[in-house]
Amino acid sequence: MRFSCECTPAAAHGRGRIILICSEAPIALGDPTNIQYTSGTTGSPKGVLLTHRNIMNNGYLIARALRYTENDRICLAVPFAHCFGNVIGTMSAVASGCALIHPNATFDPKAVLEAVEAERATAIYGVPTMFIAELRHPEFVKFDLSSLRTGVMAGAPCPIEIMKQVVSDMHCREMVIAYGLTETAPVLTMSEVDDDLEHRVLTVGKAMPCTQLKVVDLETRQTVERGAQGEICARGYMLMQGYDGEPEATARAIDGEGWFRTGDLGVMREDGYLNITGRAKDMIIRGGENIYPREIEEFLYTHPKIAEVQVTGLPNERMGEIVLAWIRLKPSETATAEEIRQFCEGKIAKFKIPESIRFVESFPATLSGKIQKFRMREMEIREQGLDEVARRGTA
**Domain edges within the chain:** 1-29, 31-210+234-260, 283-393
pLDDT (tens, 9 = 90+) of the chain, 395 residues, equals: 333 333 333 333 333 344 545 556 778 899 999 998 886 545 567 899 999 999 999 999 999 999 999 999 999 999 888 899 999 999 999 999 999 999 999 899 999 999 999 999 999 999 888 998 999 999 999 999 999 999 999 877 787 888 899 999 999 999 999 999 999 999 999 999 999 988 988 899 999 999 999 999 988 999 999 999 999 999 999 999 999 999 999 999 999 999 999 989 999 999 999 998 887 778 787 876 778 898 899 999 999 999 999 999 999 888 889 999 999 999 999 999 999 999 999 999 999 999 999 999 999 988 777 888 989 999 999 999 999 888 764 33
How is domain 283-393 classified at the CATH fold level? GMP Synthetase; Chain A, domain 3 (3.30.300)
Q: Domain spanning 31-210+234-260: which CATH class is it, in words? A: alpha beta
pTM for the full model? 0.76
Query: Three-state SS string across the chain, please?
Result: CEEEEEECCCHHHCCCCEEEEEECCCCCCCCEEEEEECCCCCCCCCEEEEEHHHHHHHHHHHHHHCCCCCCCEEEECCCCCCHHHHHHHHHHHHHHCCEEECCCCCCCHHHHHHHHHHHCCCEEEECHHHHHHHHCCCCHHHCCCCCCCEEEECCCCCCHHHHHHHHHHCCCCEEEEEEECHHHCCEEEECCCCCCHHHHHHCCCEECCCEEEEEECCCCCCECCCCCEEEEEEEECCCCCEECCCHHHHHHHECCCCCEEEEEEEEECCCCCEEEEEEHHHCEEECCEEECHHHHHHHHCCCCCEEEEEEEEEEECCCEEEEEEEEEECCCCCCCHHHHHHHHCCCCCHHHCCCEEEECCCCCECCCCCECHHHHHHHHHHHHCCHHHHHHHCC
